[in-house]
Amino acid sequence: MKIDILTLFPNMFNNIFEESIIRRAKDEKKIEINIHNFRDFTTDPHNKVDDTPYGGGAGMVLMPQPIFDCVESLRNENSKVILLTPSGIPYKQKMAYDLSKEEHLIIICGHYEGFDERIRTLADLEISIGDYVLTGGEIPAMVLVDSITRLIPGVINERSHLEDSFNENYLLDYPTYTKPRNFRGMEVPEVLISGDHKKIEEYRYNESIRKTKELRPDLLGEDK
């Protein structure tokens, strides 16, 4: 997979993709990540990429020309263009799975007070990672890349992500334990030491339900 990220702040991505699973996926040529400063594409003599909004209002708005030119220099018939915006579709694990099957993603990071509405015409998909305000789309872009990369075949053991929280049944992951069996009076549940795999599976499923009801009842359609 190839991912191109459009941003005004490329230095924000320094090191973030050079660690852990993403670094390994890059080294093994399973993913290619490129960061593009779309200011490099402006035709404005002063390198401007934003201007005041028509009709008045606070802040500055990203102009369409640099972003259009940057996307058009990268896009091909296999590209999917993603616009990161608070008004986008809420990002879920199912969406991460779907995107991990794409050949080429182009991710546009917004900034300032927003972007010219015509930029939306470039996007195949608009995504929001939550109902809160961030300075720009750079952190959401990092979230997308991380969540997608680990789902690419061969990046991690398939069972690892099949048992993740939010996978298929949208339950939180069950509690896990390791050695020592007793730590400061806190014991590992007996069933996990029993060797009875059927009981262990039942315990884990029930614990996933319990944990989800307790911490995220909204995932079950329940109110706190």
pLDDT at 15 > cutoff 70: yes
Strands 182-183 and 104-109: unpaired
Q: Please determine, for residue 47, whether its predicted confidence score (pLDDT) is greater than 50.
A: yes
Which residue spans within 8-143 are E strands per DSSP? 32-37, 50-51, 61-62, 79-90, 104-109, 125-128
Judged against a pLDDT cut of 50, whether residue 224 lies above it is answered with no
**Predicted TM-score of the model (pTM):** 0.85
CA-wise closest residue to 102 among 78, 67, 83: 78
pLDDT given for residue 221 in this prediction:
82
Which domains does the chain carry?
Answer: 2-158 (3.40.1280.10), 163-220 (1.10.1270.20)
Arithmetic mean of pLDDT, 193-207: 95
CA gap 110, 108 in Å, rounded: 6
